[in-house]
Chain A
């Protein structure tokens, strides 16, 4: 079965600093999804990557999928308190027809 490993598990950054979260898959990815979760709330869809080498941006958040399609990185530029939360990667490995498998999440805190 597919497994996703996220690193780091938690991260504390000063407001205005850049940061990167990684997600590594045990199998080749068909699609890689990034979600954000605030405490006590549901998951908010950020973006989906499908093609090797693909890069997408949403406001100050950029995600990339490597050429071999087994790793993705999420980069936040000039972090703000509103970026705080848990970031989860999810993936499917079979043409989008299988339920997503999720990593354990990265907890991000942004301090002034």
Chain B
């Protein structure tokens, strides 16, 4: 199994550009999450989804949008990129119940210049 796959791994955007960070999981997990990690700041939740067609805001949703049309995919859209969105973005998924923890992707390192 591939687990959670994120693309791209690295990206440089200019201020005002838009892009979509892709996240796909092949474990049939219902729950999926997007976090951002800034240096020394831990992980902050952007959006999450408890199943196809259902999404909800996390702690830092401004400037982002998500969709969940299938169980496997949970793309994160950045509109009008700003320098404050420079960060490392992680997608994660988990099955119902918490004992097995979240499975994380390897991350997307985004720089906005």
Closest to A33 in B: B101
Minimum CB–CB distance for A26 against chain B, Å: 14
Asked if A96 meets B105 with Cβ closer than 8 Å, knowing A88-B43, A102-B43, A105-B42, the reply is: no
Assess whether A41 is interfacial by the CB under 8 Å rule. Answer: yes
Asked if A48 meets B42 with Cβ closer than 8 Å, knowing A41-B106, A41-B107, the reply is: no
Minimum CB–CB distance for B42 against chain A, Å: 4
> Roughly how many angstroms separate A40 CA and B90 CA in the complex, as a whole number?
11
> Roughly how many angstroms separate A42 CA and B103 CA in the complex, as a whole number?
9
Minimum CB–CB distance for A61 against chain B, Å: 14
Q: How many residues of A are counted as interface, with CB atoms below 8 angstroms from the partner's CB atoms?
A: 25
Q: Would you list which residues of chain B between 27 and 65 have a CB under 8 Å from chain A? A: 33, 35, 40-43, 45, 48, 58-59
> Roughly how many angstroms separate A100 CA and B102 CA in the complex, as a whole number?
9
Minimum CB–CB distance for A41 against chain B, Å: 6
Q: Which residues of B contact A31 (CB under 8 A)?
A: 98
Assess whether A43 is interfacial by the CB under 8 Å rule. Answer: yes
Q: Are B45 and A99 in contact (CB under 8 A)?
A: yes
Q: Are A42 and B107 in contact (CB under 8 A)?
A: yes
Q: Are B104 and A48 in contact (CB under 8 A)?
A: no
In the complex, which of the residues A35, A88, A99 contacts B48, with contact meaning CB atoms closer than 8 Å? A99
Q: Are A96 and B98 in contact (CB under 8 A)?
A: yes
Closest to A4 in B: B42
**Proximity string of chain A (82-112) to chain B, C-beta cutoff 8 Å, 1 when within and 0 when not:** 0000001010100010011111110000000
A-B pairs with beta carbons under 8 Å apart, 10 shown: A1-B59, A9-B40, A31-B98, A33-B101, A35-B101, A40-B107, A43-B102, A92-B98, A96-B97, A96-B98
